[in-house]
Amino acid sequence: MKTLLVFFERSNAYFVNFLRISIFVVTVWIGGLKAFQYEADGIVPFVTNSPFMSFFYTKSEAMGINKDGLLVKQYQLHKNPEGLVVRKNIEWHKENGTYVFSYGLGTLICVIGMLVLLGIWFPKVGFWGGILTFGMSIITLSFLITTPEVYVPNLGGDFPTPQFGFPYLSGAGRLVLKDIIMMAAALIIVSDSARKWLKYI
């Protein structure tokens, strides 16, 4: 048992680098997907309801009437579920700036991932990559407050919906909540990079 404990204790530096590689894989993969229509459409509820990001869209405040006769934000009328392609919805998203914004966001996320990975060899670069990852996680976690879609809706059915609203996370909400792990990982990266950087000051 002691041998196993010593192995893990001495492997700390390798594990931190594995953490950097993990962040790189996640950010570059997800960032790269932002170039595709289905992913760009999928982030609209998060962006349009965010006080930090809604201004990037031209129709964040636009309203419309849904099939039940209720006044709702227009984006709710133009959702393309993953795998479904509806021309009129895509045209709405083009006018909204959905795709242009997604390309820019995807590029930024990929750059952050690259900075984190480069931290293996360049502590100063890795430090700022970690700081940006931390900041990105804060914005993502803020969606738990600003985005209605992160909680199970009350859609009714054969009997009243038993669990809806806070704290019942939807699939989107569960995905967002995981960023708290990314936030903690970012701080470990920042700390490790700072320790290495200090050796050169």
Q: What is the mean pLDDT of the chain?
A: 94
Q: Is 11 helix (H, G, I), strand (E, B) or coil?
A: coil
Distance set, CA 55 to CA 52, 97, 127, 164, 194 (Å): 8, 10, 29, 29, 35
This prediction has a pTM of 0.91
Chain position carrying tokens 């909400």:
173
Segment 116-169, tens digit of pLDDT: 999 999 999 999 999 999 999 999 999 999 999 999 998 888 888 899 999 999
Tokens linked to 52: 């930090």
Q: Give the C-alpha separation, 94 to 91, whole Å.
A: 5
Closest residue by Cα to residue 48 from 146, 171, 144, 137: 146
pLDDT at 155 (0 to 100) = 85
